[in-house]
Amino acid sequence: MTFPAIKETKVAVVGLGYVGLPLAVAFGESFDTLGFDINARRIAELREGRDATREVLPDELARAQNLTFIDDINDAADCHVYIVTVPTPIDRHNQPDLSPLKSASRTLGPVLSEGDVVIYESTVYPGATEEVCVPLLEQYSGLRFNRDFFVGYSPERINPGDREHRLTNITKVTAGSTQEAARFIDDLYGSIIEAGTHLASSIKVAEAAKVIENTQRDVNIALVNELALIFNRLGIDTREVLEAASTKWNFLPFRPGLVGGHCIGVDPYYLTHKAEAIGYHPEMILAGRRINDNMGQYVAREITKLMTQRRLHVVDADILVMGLTFKANCPDLRNTKVIDVIRELETYHAHVHVYDPWVDSEEAQQEYGITPVDAPTPGAYDAVILAVAHDEFKEMGAEKIRALGAENAVLYDIKSVLPLEAVDARL
């Protein structure tokens, strides 16, 4: 099989979220590129030069002069390469939800032609690309895998809200279903990735590499979260302990917190699902997940304890939560664990008010049934929780944040943004 010359390759990116859009823009600067998404509203805003995720700036969109946004996959029938960047979430039982991936594979099948390459970037368990996606591509295309079409895997490494670590300056792992396809895929990505590529020996190796990146972080955060639970009982400030320990050159600088988002709080479940499917029970990974998944409830209980100690009635109390996104300086609400704090406080019949200048109110209402306040009311709250370290909150400082609460209000700092002496407690 002869693949097209790299510079003559026409690329289609399927899914234009936090991962797909930066990729489409990068290819669109030098390749004939189509960006496809099933969300008509998303396509409309991108055609107007706006990105609601704030990952791509208007001038960056403008530079991608070879990029066209489409909402009909048939318009991409003459492409040579299709890159799938759809979400891979988990269901309410913490099992992989591959429905977006399967849907994308079914959608692509009818437009595939002989010689085409389909590359998946979505995080999956080792084996998913060839075991789940390839049969659907064959079924809906009528073509034969590794004879008529080829498949690759190149895991995404996007860090939402991070303006330093961008697509082009992060090493890209690549893999292909044949040696020839792998070299073609590696050369294709190598033409836009300034940091270079790492060609894995197989698709399974590349899939496994991606899923352990975030599993490793999850386990390490679980360790410091458990340390925080212990140190709290000992009356020791966790952040001070970590700062002291960090004076050793090889101490890893992980911090306690709520572990949400589309990667760290989700990806380990893909690996544990596959491990259990082959008869192995992954004890450490699942133990870490249990610790991290329970941190929201722990924080809420600590706040209610502090309020009770001050003789503040939790029932019908007004509590302000500052921040709803899963991380700072980013509008992404996916799998935010701040919601766990809110839901636990609501079980005590508290009135929880959410303030987050980064959040789209319509999305917050749709995802969680929450309508954030436009601005907090000074002096109106029995407790104030600093849940996300947005720059806007840091700039307010301890005095202004404290002033949002009533005279005897509790101030709890989940992210340790404020000085220890300025808060009543922090994680």
Active centre residues (catalytic): 263
User: Across-strand partners of 12?
Assistant: 34, 82
Alpha carbon of residue 35 to chain centroid: 20
Distances (CA, A) of 367 to 275, 322, 326, 360, 362: 31, 18, 13, 11, 9
Q: How far apart are alpha carbons 192 and 279 in whole angstroms? A: 41
Two structure tokens written together for 274: 């596959």
Whether 219 contacts 380, CB under 8 Å: no
Q: How far apart are the two ends of the chain, measured CA to CA in Å?
A: 57
- Please compute, for residue 38, the number of CA atoms within 13 A of its CA located in the half-sphere on the CB side: 9
The string of DSSP letters for 205-223 reads HHHHHHHHHHHHHHHHHHH
Two structure tokens written together for 301: 């209980």
State the greatest distance between any 2 C-alpha atoms of the chain, in Å, as a whole number: 76
Residue 3, φ and ψ in degrees, nearest 5: -85, 155
Helices assigned H by DSSP within 348-413:
361-368, 391-402
- Beta-carbon contacts of 134 under 8 Å, excluding residues fewer than 6 positions away, are 145, 151, 177
Strands 172-176 and 150-153, sheet pairing = antiparallel
Question: CA-CA-CA-CA torsion for 119, 261, 323, 367, nearest 10 degrees?
Answer: 80
Q: How far apart are alpha carbons 201 and 288 in whole angstroms? A: 30
